[in-house]
Amino acid sequence: MPETRVALITGITGQDGGHLAGLLHGKGYEVVGLIRGQNNPRRPALLEAHPFVRLVEGDVTDPVSLARVVDHADPTEIYHMAALSHVGYSFANPTLTMSVTGQGTLNVLEAVRLTGRTDKTRIYQASSSEMFGGLDYNRPGLGYDEDSRFHPRSPYGVAKLYAHWIARNYRESYGMFVSCGIAFNHEGENRGEEFVTRKISKAVARIHLGLQDRVRLGALWPKRDWGYAGDYVEGMWRMLQHSEPGDFVLASGVTHSIEDFLTAAFARIGVEDWRPYVEHDEALLRPAEVDILLGNPAKAHSVLGWERRVDFEGLVDLMVAADLDRERRAHPEAAR
């Protein structure tokens, strides 16, 4: 009998957690999800979408809860996705961000070590392109790779850099199988509504249906390397199947501005000039902005055989289509 593979996903209620749950279930894993809070409001939707997930309660800021969960679930793989993941939110809540996004990773690593699983459990650490910060961008056309210099520009980026280095440290110090995916922005139909891409796709759908007049946005010039979350979780899984742990950039290798995203999204509803529908909101500007992020996924391509399937246009398409569908179902009277 082949050994049952058990995957523990922290951040199961988040965007990537949902994509991972589906992917791993399809591959025959028993999927266990860490869920926080006494009565997490996202639990019903999660169980409706993924009824096969076994939920266990815990919080990445509570090392005791993590040790209990790891001991109980006995995972062969941990996908550590839990974080406070919004850059803007991290400026307003820097201490909490450090605790959840930074120290939460240490707590996961320690839970594995203290329960005697260093040789048994492989760990994926969700590192981020925000660790690069855009300032040292001096490789036009090539993009950041695994050896590029870090210069995070937000409390989120700094917390992720701590998490990235402590994960590498446990790999080197204790010989643990810990791989860090340095993921560039990935979006999709289940992206949180606080993120700019989803804010745009939802607003475009609602404007088309006459449910909303305008959308308020901050900076429009920043450029990001955007991909589809469904593709990126495949890369995460591949990292844990590889013979050696390591760091891998997951990116599309193409960068687009928020203006480009607006243009593409409004084009889906037949609007060429989006300017009358967009209001500038100073309050949404960040104390420090990251002007451009571009990743170089050459290592993931050659070592893991990973390729993204959905391009920028395809991503915008599927996000606007999903929001149109959701809004039409919520407002049948507005259907066009």
User: Binding ligand NAP by CB under 6 A: which of 7, 8, 16, 203?
Assistant: 16
Q: Which position among 6, 8, 14, 53 is part of the footprint of ligand NAP (CB under 6 A)?
A: 14
The residue written with tokens 């701590």 in the block is 162
Verify whether residue 201 is a known catalytic residue: no
Q: Is 83 in the site for ligand NAP (CB under 6 A)?
A: yes
Q: Does 13 bind ligand NAP (CB under 6 A)?
A: yes
Q: Is 272 a catalytic residue?
A: no
Short-list 94, 76, 32, 28, CA closest to 58? 32
Tell me which of 90, 128, 148, 154 is the catalytic residue: 128
130 has catalytic annotation: yes
Q: Which is nearer to ligand NAP, 37 or 305 (CB)?
A: 37
- Say if residues 315 and 227 touch (Cβ distance below 8 Å): yes
Asked if 148 touches ligand NAP (CB under 6 A), the answer is: no
Distance CA 60, CA 223 (A): 31
Q: What's 23-50 look like in SS3?
A: HHHHCCCEEEEEECCCCCCCHHHHHHHC
Nearest to 109 by CA among 98, 94, 124: 124
Interaction residues for ligand NAP, span 38-77 (CB under 6 A): 40, 42, 59-61
The catalytic position among 29, 144, 156, 228 is 156
**Of residues 94-133, those binding ligand NAP (CB under 6 A):** 100, 126, 128
Helix runs in the chain, H state only: 15-26, 43-49, 63-73, 87-92, 94-97, 104-114, 155-174, 196-208, 229-241, 258-267, 298-299, 312-330
Asked if 9 is part of the footprint of ligand NAP (rule: CB under 6 A), the reply reads: no
Is 169 a binding residue for ligand NAP by CB under 6 A? The answer is no
| Joined tokens for residue 165 | 């280095």
Residues that are catalytic: 128, 130, 156
The residues binding ligand NAP (CB under 6 A) are: 10-17, 34, 36-37, 40, 42, 59-61, 81-85, 100, 126, 128, 183, 185-186, 192
